A and B are shown apart, each in its own frame.
Chain A
Amino acid sequence: MNDTQSLPLIAGLDPAIQIETKRLLASHLDAPVKPAHEGKRAKFWFEETQQNFVAALLDPERPVPDALTSHTARVPEKRFAVYRNNVVTGLTDALASRFPATQRIVGEEFFRAMARLYVTAEPPRSPLLMIYGDTFPDFIARFEPAAEIEYLTDVARIEAARTRAYHAADAVPLDAGSLLDIDESSLGGLRFVPHPSAEIVRSAHPIVTIWAMNAGELPLDAIEDWRGEDALIARPALDVQVRRLPPGGAVFLLSLFSGAPLAAAAAAALDESWEFDLSANLAGVISSGAVCRETLS
């Protein structure tokens, strides 16, 4: 399919972006069918029909595949449209339920138009819908019509991380008591294991505040002090929590997550911010459930 100029445009979105998305779509749908791993397996005629079927599902400009009919219309346009709608609307709905704050910021109409373009450009690669949309924040970052809302990508990153945290493996977080027994001289050598649910999103915008206001956790209000915030997303038990990290907190946690001992992580955090407060951060790390057990180096 080379005639991308003739494709329908979605109202309100830059035609250049839509043509680019259509080009992406065309390139993956028209890619030659990969040989199966099984080698000598004979190819069914129906495999080609399936290829035409899925290409037409995502692209309303393509004709209804020849192999299809109905007892009424010979070319069952409306009937095929039921499948088109199930696929595109179903996947758009899945994104809307995973990214509600993102939708609230841009409005439903804009969100659904953007999500539809993502669905056609990047359909799911797995039957696990819980992971669908992991690359949506990256798509938003490249999506020119949304570029003026500079913080939108980071809000979407928080929402994507929340779903991953929701489904992450269960693990018992470190409790404060277990640190009491440790000799003060060995504290600096402590290492921690990140909780399976824990993720950090760093932003140049007040992203935790913006997310909370659009997730119904804070009242919508003007933000007077517009400065960057880092988010910690974690699910120590069953509820996913989003916390704003204090100055140096993100570097401190990322160092700990990478396996650095406590003393080195604190030094890295102090490098990042002179306001870094080790005891407050350590207390915060424990109360957030972001780490599991400690090991002595």
Chain B
Amino acid sequence: MKIGGLLLLLSGWAIVVAALLLLHSGALSAFIVAGFAVEILGLALFAKAHVLISKDNG
């Protein structure tokens, strides 16, 4: 779960960078927002993994 979160964070950033390198104008903004949304999902997953670890440790 933790690794999944980290990978989603990195993937989101990769989407943002790819959009900057490959796209222009309207599509660019849409893909940047999409990449950012993927990062938020990754961050939520990453945080959730730590909450579970914290609960397991008592």
**A and B bind:** no
